[in-house]
Amino acid sequence: MPKDGGIGASSKRREDVRFLTGAGNYTDDMNMWGQAHVFFLRSDVAHGTLTNVDTSAAAEMPGVVQIFTGADFEEVGSIPCGWQVTDKHGEPMQEPRHPVLAHGKVRHVGEPIAAVVAETLEQARDAAEAISVDIDELPAVVNMKEAVQDGAPKVHDDLTSNLCYDWGFVEENKDAVNKAFDEAAHVTTLELVNNRLVANPMEPRVAIGDYSRAGDEHTLYTTSQNPHVIRLLMGAFVLGIPEHKLRVVSPDVGGGFGTKIFHYQEEAFCTFAAKACNRPVKWTSSRTEAFMSDAHGRDHVTKIELALDADNNFTALRTDTYANMGAYLSTFAPSVPTWLHGTLMAGNYKTPLIYVNVKAVFTNTVPVDAYRGAGRPEASFQLERLVDKAAHELEVDPIALRRQNFITEFPYATPVAVEYDTGDYNATMDKLEEMADLSGFDARRKASEAKGRLRGFGVNCYIEACGIAPSNLVGQLGARAGLYESATVRVNATGGLVVMTGSHSHGQGHETSFAQVVADMIGIDEGMVEIVHGDTSKVPMGMGTYGSRSLAVGGSAMVRATEKIIAKAKKIAAHLMEASEADIELKDGAFSVAGTDKSVAWGDVTLAAYVPHNYPLEDVEPGLEETAFYDPSNFTYPSGAYACEVELDPDTGEVKIERFLAADDFGNVVNPMIVTGQVHGGLAQGIGQALLENCAYDSDGQLLSGSYMDYAMPRASDLPFYEVDHSCQTPCTHNPLGVKGCGEAGAIGSPPAVVNAVLDAMRSGGKDVGHIDMPVTPARVWAAMNG
Amino acid sequence: MYNFDVERPQSIADAVQALSREDAQPLSGGQTLIPTLKARLAAPSVLVSLGDVDEMKGVCMSDGGQLCIGGATTHATVAAEAAAHYPALASLAARIGDPAVRNRGTIGGSVANNDPSACYPAGVLGSGATVVTNAREIAADDYFQGMFTTALEEGEIVTEVKFPIPQAAHYEKFLQPASRFPLVAAFVARFSDGVRVAITGASNDGVFRWSEAEAALASNFSASALDGLSVDSTDMISDLHGTAEYRAHLIGVMTKRAVAAIG
């Protein structure tokens, strides 16, 4: 019997009422009295020396308030990077200055050169066209392996090369890993590309700077996944505004997928210009600008090798990856190919020896940073493609080879520095096999072949690490931020609650699922709990939402704060009933004295807290409001097994996904409907990466896929009806809810299954090509089939 | 976009008059023109909307048995109203873009623009239709002159397209995954006196007739008649979505499928 409220209930998403009826309050919906509009003049060349930027004619254009260039920001800080990676020699990464507006050089197509503030956007745009820009074009570096060759053009003249860092993990294991390869009975090798993606949230980025002369107070309204992080980075490092004079508001945000984590130049510009112009300054990204200014995702080129003994046990793994940073270091870019990628290379397997090498490279392209999964999809893709390739080389069943090498005992310390607390990889694989109807596959394949199509089945496992933590560990790894979360629970006199969470919801449904947790703990109706987020003036310092961390970390902070509320409320209840505090029980929203029929309602206690006439004033303060900060002791480790069945048209190379199955272990689940929705969305993005999406540059650094005419987003008709299960649940052992996180799983777990299925279909047509790169477009499949 | 004036003439004569203004540009659906204006890639002084010219709208059969479609007729209207007369053409119209495109875009706009990946040019050329303008009638074989190039003179408007009705026809298209324009599409029409095959999406020269296939199909109207025929890839489009060789290959596949669909 499904629950109708509280933890475990598929409560309808309360926020959807406003989203679906046009009542949402997105940043672009906000307009300030007296606001001016900004248009950024962006570079149309990938690499060049800025010899002259002449704004004199433009400044005379109608409606122009003020025009800014890089020279105006010389005294302003660099856009900071939030993570410093140490290379394999113990040296810090190379970290270039990242100006708000280009100065001296332009380094990628789309980099802002000048900004025009005008009465209207069209006037700003007209004036921008009147700015005279002289650029001496330089050769662009786009290909990562070419970029690290001696003599390659340098993206940053003041750095020694285009190599940001050369990271070895774990460096001490390297010799032992190489020895294991020398002694291996079989070695499988795979070279692959993890294609560059553009996140494409439905809502483009928006920033509005507002400044009050009265109190010397700045406000930034922005489409951010973590307003406090923006306040800290922009305030402290770029503009030098103390946090008590800077408020950052992220209202309703229409999707983030990682690309709205980062602090962008446009935010700093609008905040700066609002004071300089003494009026609000608003910028709304066009979709064209989004393609060339939102941080991109993925873009790895990898060689990976697996060593096996004569019994097909995995004995060692080594990888050699080039990771594209783009032209500048976006906020968390250095952490993605290292600590979010190298640490996941054990996957679901007990491979005893692992060595990961990552070379992060600067190129004349848009900065690359975290995108749904961030490092973990790259890890899972290469590993699960490799294991599949090994199975075919060894002529063993791919599922059996995986099962043979599964980690089965927990906790399990991997050779890449993390400890999995719980998991049951055979359970999710059992569930997947049950859903997959493998025995019926031959008949389905024959039916496809009767239509002239090839049918393929592909499977993969995944493990991810969510809720990146604890803060003291990530500090040692180079994070320049803490990774705790905060919550304040404010109980009103009449019993309703407001929870101010440091997490941020940009589509995840926190307003519903977080309310379910608190309501369940107290035993009251969910409607009595309101969730507030996204405003640094209301919410205690929090770290925001990314890395599937919100329920595991933010939810845990909320639980801790609610526990404090309940503890205090019990003291008040004990006083009201003249009983011992130890005898007070809370159930279904009422406090009772154990073993008696004495009872007071939740509302009686909350009223007493604020109207403390009959109250233990000598022992307990009035009021009912508590704050908690929660810093997890470990990551959480969701895992699962996915399968894909495709039909392939050998005449055209077209691939159609017939079935997609996902068996996930997310630990405990608060709202199964929302979890299913999160998996669906993740799968769409994973399948999009596998079949459709490709951010491509030409050798001059021009963006070839700069609009939806050339960048293929997945549409409903590209996707099957998913079969999703999350009944396998091994609760997390170290957070109070036993939850693991579900936001990224679909995007992490699905690409290898798709590609494995396509290769299986091709093999059934007599063509074994070993590997095919994503996106697996019809043109690529046809070329591979006929190569 | 830049500022411009808008004129909304009620008749072809008034439209022609309005288009005589300097830097005037006709607007007939705007599914290409409006995005171009928004990107500031065009700067007409005046947009002459053909949307109010009633004499350029509608679908009817002529006494001579031709399907006549007014230049300002939307794809959605053609999809609905041509179905009884020329199902293959109605089906082509029904599969252009998405509903929003089909409710704004017009046949005259598409044929005048002659995008190398548009659907209508294949239907017009494959049917051997006649493009009627305010000044003259132009046979499809003379009308399409290369990528975004037609026989239209400055200020000349496509007022109508007249289609002979073939015995049978079919439009088979393979979608470019991002834009969902044809990556390659074939329009095959069988007439009592021959077969016409028009290919869109593939060539750097825009829509073209595959004459070898037409000859082979004229003597043996079956997919197998195309076995062994191939298109030279030299002039084919090569881009992110497919090489010239791939497009040349797809021409054969799409044509065979169109023939097979006709039966």
Q: Give chain B positions within 8 Å (CB) of A654.
A: 174
pLDDT digits (tens, 9 = 90+) for B99-109: 999 999 999 99
Which of A708, A713, A777 lies nearest to residue B241, judging by beta carbons?
Answer: A777
Query: With 80 as the cut, is the pLDDT of residue A761 above it?
Result: yes
Yes or no, beta carbons of A779 and B243 under 8 Å apart? yes
- Domain ranges within chain B, ordered by starting residue: 5-49, 54-164, 168-262
Quote the CA–CA distance of A497 and A499 in Å, as a whole number. Answer: 6
**C-beta of residue A664 within 8 angstroms of C-beta of residue A680:** no
DSSP per residue over A606-648, as a string?
HHHHHS-SSS-TTTS-SS-EEEEEE--SS-B--EEEEEEEEEE
Q: What is the ipTM of this complex?
A: 0.95
Determine which of B41, B183, B241 to mutate to test the interface with A (most A C-beta atoms within 10 Å): B241
By Cβ distance, the residue of A125, A129, A779 closest to B241 is A779
CA distances from A159 to A76, A342, B96 (A): 21, 25, 51
Mean pLDDT of chain A: 97
**Is the confidence at residue B55, as pLDDT, over 70?**
yes
Minimum CA–CA partner of A654 in chain B: B174
pLDDT band at residue A468, thresholds of 50, 70 and 90?
Answer: confident
Q: Is the peptide bond before A170 cis (omega within 30 degrees of 0)?
A: yes
Q: What percent of chain B has pLDDT over 90?
A: 99
Whether residue B169 contacts residue B187, with contact meaning beta carbons closer than 8 Å, is answered with: yes
pLDDT, tens digit (0-9, with 9 covering 90-100), for A258-315: 999 999 999 999 999 999 999 999 999 999 999 999 999 999 999 999 999 999 999 9
Q: Are B184 and B250 in contact (CB under 8 A)?
A: yes
Q: B40 pLDDT band (50/70/90 cuts)?
A: very high
Which residues contact residue A434 at a Cβ distance below 8 angstroms, ignoring those fewer than 6 apart? none
Q: Is the dihedral of CA A599, A604, A608, A609 positive or negative?
A: positive
B197-237, pLDDT tens digit by residue?
A: 999 999 999 999 999 999 999 999 999 999 999 999 999 99
**Who contacts A486 (Cβ-Cβ below 8 Å, separation ≥6)?**
A501, A502, A539, A540, A541, A542, A554, A557, A627, A628, A629, A630
The verdict on B179 touching A (C-beta cutoff 8 Å) is yes
Average pLDDT over residues A635-662: 98
Interface test with A, best of B174, B251, B254 (most A CBs within 10 A): B174
Closest C-alpha among B43, B57, B58, B52 to residue B18 = B52
Residue of A nearest to B244 (CA): A779
pLDDT attached to residue B92: 98
State whether residue B253 sits within 8 Å of chain A by CB: yes
Mean pLDDT, range A422-441, rounded to an integer: 98
How much of chain A exceeds pLDDT 70, in percent? 100
Report d(CA A260, CA A256) in Å as an integer: 5
Per residue in A660-712, pLDDT (tens digit) is 999 999 999 999 999 999 999 999 999 999 999 999 999 999 999 999 999 99
Say whether pLDDT at A2 is over 90.
Answer: no
CA distance A655 to chain B (A): 11
> Cβ(B178)–Cβ(A712) under 8 Å?
yes
**Inter-residue contact B124 to B140 (CB < 8 Å):** yes
**Residue A648 confidence (pLDDT) above 80:** yes
The answer to whether residue A4 scores a pLDDT higher than 90 is no
Radius of gyration of chain B (CA): 18
CB-based contact A625:A640 (threshold 8 Å): no
- Cα separation of A141 and A326, whole Å? 10
Reduced to 3 states (helix: H, G, I; strand: E, B; else coil), residue A728 is: coil
CA distance A520 to chain B (A): 46
> What pLDDT is attached to residue A389?
98
Chain A, residues 401-430, CB within 8 A of chain B, namely: none
pLDDT tens string B149-194: 999 999 999 999 999 999 999 999 999 999 999 999 999 999 999 9
Set of chain A residues whose Cβ sits within 8 Å of the Cβ of B249:
782, 786
CB A283 within 8 A of CB A117: no
List CB contacts (< 8 A) between A695 and chain B: none
**Domains of chain A in sequence order:** 15-22+484-630 (3.30.365.10), 31-138+202-255+260-293 (3.90.1170.50), 300-468+634-785 (3.30.365.10)
Q: Calculate mean pLDDT across residues A543-557.
A: 94
> Hey, are the CB atoms on B178 and A708 less than 8 Å from each other?
yes
Rounded CA-CA distance A687/A681 in Å is 10
Query: Cβ separation of B178 and A288 shorter than 8 Å?
Result: no
CATH no. for B168-262: 3.30.390.50
| Contact by Cβ (8 Å): B70, B57 | yes
Q: Kindly state the tokens that stand for A372.
A: 């749904």
Quote the minimal CA–CA distance from A40 to chain B in Å. Answer: 14
Min distance A640 CA to chain B CA atoms (Å): 30
User: Are B31 and B108 spatial neighbours (Cβ–Cβ below 8 Å)?
Assistant: no
Residue B263 confidence class, pLDDT cut points 50, 70, 90: confident
Please say if the pLDDT value at position A1 is more than 70: no
CB A379 within 8 A of CB A298: no
User: Is the pLDDT reported for residue A443 higher than 80?
Assistant: yes
Cβ neighbours for A261, distance < 8 A, ≥ 6 positions apart: A224, A225, A226, A229, A331, A332, A369, A370, A544, A546
Q: What is the pLDDT of residues B137-148, one digit of tens each?
A: 999 999 999 999
Q: What CATH number labels B5-49? A: 3.30.43.10
pLDDT at A708: 96
Which of A740, A733, A722 has the alpha carbon at shortest distance from A669?
A740
Q: Which two tokens stand for residue A511?
A: 């307003």
Q: What is the DSSP string of A2-49?
A: --SSSTT-----THHHHHHTT---BGGG---TT-EEEEEEE-SSSSEE
In the CATH hierarchy, which fold is given to the domain comprising B54-164?
Answer: 3.30.465
